[in-house]
Structure 1
Amino acid sequence: MSDHPVVMHTVVDALACRPLAEFYRELLGLRYRPGDEPPTDGSPDDADWLVLLDDAGRRVLAVQDVPSIQRPDWPEHSVPAQLHLDLAVPDVAALERHRRRAEELGATLLLDRTYDAEEPLYVLADPTGHPFCLLVASSRA
């Protein structure tokens, strides 16, 4: 193991963690950590912390309940975003496909910068208002 800390996952705050976890689970093709799945027996879903994993079982994202949250007003800064995700896709066709899918899942478009030939992108907000970028990955590191 490295002598440095490693990123375990990114945590996103939400007033209700299950709906936001579902948004990111669907958008990114993730799965719940064992034990974090929604109840199937009709019992209440009282989860206040959920972890999402990739296909290899690595932690990618966690969503936690908080008692209050103020929706970021990006691109203004009176209520800062504080954190955002950059999600890369391979080409413009994928960019359009994933934008539509994100909106179907509840995201809203904040900025369209697809005219930029160097790095076409959309800035969207998840259902809680956290901005995230969906962009065509460039060859730059």
Structure 2
Amino acid sequence: MIGTLNTTALDCPIPLENAKFYQTLLGGYISPEEDTDWVNLFEPSGRQILSFQRARNYVAPTWPDNTVPLQVHINIRVESYEDAEPTVLLAGGTLIDDSNEHPDFRVYSDPIGRPFCLVLH
């Protein structure tokens, strides 16, 4: 082993807005001294969990056809869809696949079109 994972950085057009969406889902805090091109999301304990970096020409992935590849995919473990989904939708997320073909997960997109999943615990 040479080290430990520092963060996973996600491209987005407006880092602070995308960080606030995931903060609504995951809790924690956004570092107050962040600039507009890079924002970090931390767990309440202080562990950095995600970073958001400005990509001026961001193009949302297309799912499920992958014409524009996902490149990264976030899974969020939840106790139930019924409890978690309203928060996702109120924060600006969109349900894009709740087929019974995959009962252990549902696919959503964040406000900029990046797919992520809620996965049953």
Structure 1 partner of 2:53? 64
The Cα RMSD (Å) is 1.7
Shift of 1:55: 1.2
Structure 2 partner of 1:110? 96
> How many angstroms apart in 2 are the aligned matches of 1:83 and 1:103?
21
Structure-to-structure mapping, 1:10-29, within 5 angstroms: 10-29=8-27
> How many angstroms apart in 1 are the aligned matches of 2:3 and 2:16?
28
Q: Of the two, which has the highest radius of gyration?
A: 1
User: TM-score, normalization: structure 1?
Assistant: 0.78
Structure 1 partner of 2:110? 126
Aligned partner of residue 47 in structure 1, secondary structure = coil
Structure-to-structure mapping, 1:44-123, within 5 angstroms: 47-90=36-79, 92=80, 95-113=81-99, 116=102, 119=104, 121-123=105-107
> How many angstroms apart in 1 are the aligned matches of 2:98 and 2:71?
21
Aligned partner of residue 117 in structure 2, secondary structure = strand
Confirm or deny: 8 A CA contact 2:24 2:87 kept in the other structure.
no
Counterpart residue type for residue 7 of structure 2 = H
Shift of 1:114: 5.4
Structure 1 gap ranges (5+): 37-45
> How many angstroms apart in 1 are the aligned matches of 2:114 and 2:68?
11
Structure 2 gap ranges (5+): none
Aligned partner of residue 70 in structure 2, secondary structure = coil
Aligned partner of residue 11 in structure 2, secondary structure = strand
> How many angstroms apart in 2 are the aligned matches of 1:14 and 1:116?
28
User: Which digits, 9 at most, give the CA deviation of each residue in 1:38-92, with x for residues without a partner?
Assistant: xxxxxxxx611000100110000011111111111101111111111011013x3
Shift of 1:113: 3.7
Identity %: 31
Counterpart residue type for residue 27 of structure 1 = L
Counterpart residue type for residue 86 of structure 2 = R
Confirm or deny: 8 A CA contact 1:99 1:122 kept in the other structure.
no
User: TM-score, normalization: structure 2?
Assistant: 0.90
Q: Which runs of 4+ in 1 moved over 2 A?
A: 113-117
